[in-house]
Amino acid sequence: MKRVFSGIQPSGTPHIGNYLGAIKNWAAIQEEYDCIYCVVDLHAITVYQKPDILRQKTIDAIKIILAAGIDPEKSIVFVQSHIKEHSELAWILNTITPIGELERMTQFKDKAKNQKAGVSAGLLDYPVLMAADILLYNTDAVPVGEDQRQHVELSRVIARKFNNLYGETFKEPAELIRKEGARIMSLTDPTKKMSKSDEDKFGCIDLTDSPDLIREKIKKAVTDSGKEIISRPDKPAVSNLLTIYSLFSNQPIKEIETKYENKTYVEFKEGLAQVVIEGLALFQEKYAELDKNPEYVLKVIKEGADKARNLAESKMKEVKEKMGLV
């Protein structure tokens, strides 16, 4: 089976953009691929994190992965910092990555703008650590949202460069980006992607929001001028809501448009809230169960690390031998 690797940061609160753009798909492809899913705490600290909160969010992120239906018997689920080879390989890859490539990354440019206390080397280096995550496990495919495409492309550039210098060592990974849901937009500003770091809490629907809060957020969501419920470039807000509706209900957008022809935005939003609440119900039920069972979650984390470590150690050995680091 082909190998899949992906990661999620334990910062902020995961929202339906993370779910529809990434994690829901992670669960769906478990039968088809040999999957490894990682909570990337070393990526999260490129922006300051309070230690106690980071510790809790890391465990919460594992719970989110499990609640989304990822089965730790089938897939490897682990925490990045538990496997020292990620940092070790990142250093090695640093030595062959041109700074210019890192400076042109869109996410770096965006985040650097917001970092008031000066930009850390870690923030610039973030995509190299991501390349290390991916390349350590001979990954074939990386399921991510559209915002990560550039980083996966760079990991191919880095793999190729290493292979040219030291001999065939790394596979070149492909991004696995679904068309629908790759970019869920903010409910209050459809020109911005739904983001964990959004200050406006009405922009995101978090995965653990109660039904009442979901209804309230959808009621407050912005709509476009006109009143048709249709997916079209000049109706970015309604198009985004239709995408969310479609992904949670598994109905094609065309069918939803027909269903709400001649209906009002208010009626559409009521329907949408219902679909989102139902779409998250099973996830939320499983999440609540995991909340009551912290020993189980810790056991999954430990066993995941043991499995990942085996693979990572053997790849690092090969890398070091090829480079003369023995």
Catalytic residues: 111, 193, 196
Site membership for ligand TRP, residue 195 (CB under 6 A): no
247 binds, among ligand AMP, ligand TRP, none (CB under 5 to 8 A by kind): none
Structure tokens at 21: 């753009």
Build a one-symbol-per-residue string for 217-246: x at contacts with ligand TRP by CB under 6 A, - elsewhere.
------------------------------
Structure tokens at 191: 């020109």
CB under 8 Å to 78, separation ≥6 — which residues? Answer: 36, 37, 38, 39, 301, 304, 305, 307, 308
Distances (CA, A) of 147 to 64, 184, 192, 195, 248: 21, 11, 12, 11, 21
* Residue with smaller CB distance to ligand AMP, 28 or 96: 28
Q: State the nearest-atom distance from the C-beta of 118 to ligand TRP, in Å.
A: 21
Residue 165 parent element (H or E): helix 149-166
Q: Please name the amino acid found at residue 101.
A: E
Site membership for ligand TRP, residue 182 (CB under 6 A): no
Q: Which residue among 36, 130, 176, 301 contacts ligand TRP (CB under 6 A)?
A: 130
* Residue with smaller CB distance to ligand TRP, 7 or 271: 7
Beta strands in 108-149 (DSSP E): 141-143
Backbone angles phi, psi at 234, to 5 degrees: -85, 5
* Residue with smaller CB distance to ligand AMP, 145 or 271: 145
Distance, in Å, from the CA atom of 121 to the CA atom of 146, rounded to the nearest integer, reads 24
Q: State the nearest-atom distance from the C-beta of 236 to ligand AMP, in Å.
A: 13
Secondary structure class of 5 (helix, strand, coil): strand
* 229 within 8 A of 271, measured Cβ to Cβ: no
Site membership for ligand TRP, residue 148 (CB under 6 A): yes
Site membership for ligand TRP, residue 6 (CB under 6 A): yes
Site membership for ligand AMP, residue 190 (CB under 6 A): no
208 binds, among ligand TRP, ligand AMP, none (CB under 5 to 8 A by kind): none
Look at strands 174-176 and 3-8 and give their pairing.
Answer: unpaired
Q: Which residue has the tokens 């190299």?
A: 128
Distance, in Å, from the CA atom of 177 to the CA atom of 257, rounded to the nearest integer, reads 25
Q: Which residue among 20, 76, 123, 142 contacts ligand TRP (CB under 6 A)?
A: 142
Q: Which residue among 7, 14, 17, 304 contacts ligand TRP (CB under 6 A)?
A: 7
Backbone angles phi, psi at 96, to 5 degrees: -120, 5
Q: Which residue has the tokens 């912290």?
A: 294
196 binds, among ligand TRP, ligand AMP, none (CB under 5 to 8 A by kind): ligand AMP
Between CA 284 and CA 290, with CA 288 as vertex, the angle to 5 degrees is 115
Q: State the nearest-atom distance from the C-beta of 245 to ligand AMP, in Å.
A: 15
* DSSP-assigned letters across all residues of 277-314: HHHHHHHHHHHHHHHT-HHHHHHHHHHHHHHHHHHHHH
Q: Segment near ligand AMP (CB under 6 A), from 62-70, 190-198, 241-249, 253-261?
A: 190-198
Q: Which residue has the tokens 């910092």?
A: 81
183 binds, among ligand TRP, ligand AMP, none (CB under 5 to 8 A by kind): ligand AMP
Build a one-symbol-per-residue string for 150-189: x at contacts with ligand AMP by CB under 6 A, - elsewhere.
--------------------------------xxx-----
Residues lying near ligand TRP in the complex (CB under 6 A) are found at 5-7, 9, 40, 43, 130, 133-134, 142, 144, 148, 151
Which residues in this chain contact ligand AMP in the complex, by CB under 6 A?
8-9, 17-18, 21-22, 144-145, 147-148, 182-184, 193-194, 196
